[in-house]
Structure 1
Amino acid sequence: MPNITWSLSDDGHSFSSDGVSGTAQKSFFHDVGCCNLSQYNSHLNYNNVILDLVFSNNEVLVLASSDPLVPEDPNHRALCISADFVQLHALSSSPYIKFVYNCGDFTAISNELDNIDWAKEFSIRSLQDAKYNNLCDYESFILLRERAKALEREMFTDYIARIEESIVKNPKAFWSYVKSKKQSNCYPAVFTYGQHSSGNGDEICNYFCDYFNSFCTILAAPLTAQVRTPG
């Protein structure tokens, strides 16, 4: 609004506009009046016009900066605006309960807990109300249980994948896993081979001999081939 000039108002602090023209400017200053705003900047830029307007509902002091942080724009002066009408009100703290545990009678608490028949208490309560009679506790338990199971499945899958990848380079890891799945490191009391079972050491050795001998016989058997001659 370079066409507008500003003159000191009757209050001796703010400035009134002169030369308002056009629908847009009239509408703007109408809104300024409705909001009870006053303009406090009277410092001309280097082109002798005021482009930076300082509006406020309360009195403010506007001074031209004597030591700008950056070079000034010819159209916009560096201004220092002081306002002392702002009052900061600290929010009051809401009251809260603080438990002073260091002042508690822990001996009496321990005695009271020892006098409770916990077996009876848990036998007459369901899992849903075992704690604070609150269903939310049971819902939280379900959520945590599902997360634990999902994490267990994920870790077991990763473990099996590592075992499978290490079979070639580290067979010992595979057999360690196999042994960990066995309920006992001892040999079974009875061995079964084919239709035969025995708990005798000599017979068991013969079963192993027959088993491995069958593979050797198959591998050692000569290969036969039929050669078809053209008729």
Structure 2
Amino acid sequence: MRHSYVPPCLPDADITSLDLLLEKYTTRKKLRVFCCYFPQNTQQSNSQATFFEYLSDLVIKFPNDKFIVLGDFNVKDATWLHVPGGHITIVNTSYNNLVNQLFAFMTFTGFKQYNNIYNNNNRLLDLVLSNTVCVVNRTKPLALPEDGHHPSLVVKVESEKNNKYLRAPTRVVRCYHNADYNAVNDELSKIDWVEELSSEDITCAVGKFYFILNHIIDRIVPTKLVHENDKFPSWYSRSLIKLIKKKLKAHKKWKIYGRSSDYDRFSELRRETKRLEAECYDLFINKAENNIYSNSKKFWAFVKSKRSSNCIPDCMYYDDDTGSDGQMIANMFNTFFSSVFTADSNTRFSHDNLPLRYTQTFVVYHQYGKCL
């Protein structure tokens, strides 16, 4: 918890701001809260315009942050209408300058107004503006008697869930660049291909051909286990990941014991982590730019890593079925796609209708396709 970027100084208004930093492992979210009071006076319009401009710049600078702006705005002439989604919108957008600039601010930032509890005069003076879903309800007042112009409210904000995803299985990858190709050539030269394949039809011959090749590959080409890791970006090196883990341990140790020596160690590791992270990123960008024409795999891996999520949830639902592992989820997808797929019997293709000069070529290609 910390104070946010300092709001503008408005002598005729009162604005209190607070930032809540929500952090779990490598995921960091920030919730920016603003409590406002704009009294009715000749400077109200200018003060609100200045504050809205400040907020708009903040939203542009931090597009991933969540904002809640609530308080007494005293825009008494606004007419509100309930719309789907749990919020309400302004109907008379051009009634006066206060209404118009509030509507313009909400349109520009995408903020919604969630308070639909009117006061004794059937007006909404207290607004709850946010770019995340809020639920506003009545609550018991902190002091009696309650102000009839400003009913006591409680605002509930549902934080984003930390979804769990299926862990990618460990893959076996062949290291062809470390293979002994002289040994591969020796093994291939010992095979009498005519004897091995001449007595078979085309389907069995292709199958036997691949069986022989795979047998040689299994014996000569080395392998390694690859563990998928979505916790860190694709361009992080092993040394950087190890350094980050050391930094987290040092930070935890400092938080527990509070010793200056622990903080010095944590500060040193944090500084080294930032330096190495910048080096890894620059190295990755240079390699991606230089090799994008010959090998674009690293570039697209980086683009994929920028998505909010690249994984499948560890629990999915279809009708009354629940899948909690990879095989069950795959079967549910198979059930769904087979239910919406309709085979058109009129579009079946048969090589029996081909002219004779094409028939034999097509049959060979067809048999090869089945084997591959």
* TM-score bucket (shorter structure): 0.3 to 0.5
Higher CA-based Rg: 1
Q: Which has the higher contact order (CA 8 A, sep 6+)?
A: 2
TM-score by length of 1: 0.36
Structure with bigger helix share is 2
TM-score by length of 2: 0.23
